[in-house]
Amino acid sequence: MIDLARSVSDSVHAYRTGAAPAIRMGRELRGATLGIVGYGVIGRRLGELGAALGMRVVVADPFAGVEPPVTRVPLARLLAQADWLVCLAPANAQNENLMDAGAFAAMKPGAFFVNASRGELVDEAALLQALDGGRPAGCALDVGRAPDQMPSPALAAHPRVVATPHIAGLTPEAAEHQSRETVAQLTELLAGRMPVGALNPGQATRLHLLHGART
């Protein structure tokens, strides 16, 4: 969001190529509305960071509970209100192409779009067309429909896009955390308990059967 707000990548590229960077008026995050689609563990952390930066936080998630100052709204209202729309919903059949031409057209004029979840959530052709039309005003992507969840080359080349090749979690600390979390989850499952942060605990029928057999 900071990169998009201040054209950081464009300025860095200009300096590296010896060109004079364009002087552009930036955007403040403070006072802006942060819309989070999908309020899981990462969404909640992002909400905390947004609030710490002085942003108003609204969430679209039919399953998650929220507490003030966070507000839960239907997706249609979030699209109309958010200055920064961050997609963190899970990738499943229901969310395929969640962000389509209609969703982009419903976004607030001047708003920015960020996808840090999965490429399947976005209709890339619709996003390209929407960017050409100026809504969203720009976007940042760490995921896409290219191999290994990378943003597609066509989107990465667009002047309104900041694209990174699926590297947001590529640190030794993140890898260690994922490994330890996997072990902890397996420990809970083998003990017949639901792991913390399970996305769909109601569908764990085999876990219920295993627990019942043990008791």
The pTM of the full predicted model, rounded to 2 decimals, is 0.86
Residue pointed to by tokens 């003990």:
191
pLDDT value at residue 30: 97
CA 125-94-152 angle, to 5 degrees, is 30
Express each pLDDT in 78-106 by its tens digit: 999 999 999 999 999 889 999 999 999 99
- Tell me the pLDDT tens digit for each residue of 20-67: 888 889 999 999 999 999 999 899 999 999 999 999 999 999 888 899
Structure tokens at 195: 């792991």
pLDDT score recorded for residue 201: 74
At 38, list the tokens: 């999908």
Q: Where are the domains of the chain?
A: 28-163, 172-214
Extended beta strands in 61-137, E state = 71-72, 84-87, 112-115
CA distance 24 to 202: 50
| Full strand arrangement of the beta sheet holding 71-72 | 71-72, 56-60, 33-37, 84-87, 112-115, 138-141, 161-163
* CATH classification (class only), 28-163: alpha beta
* Cβ-based neighbours of 41, under 8 Å, separated by 6 or more: 197
Q: How many CB atoms lie within 10 A of CB 144?
A: 25
21 secondary structure, DSSP code: P
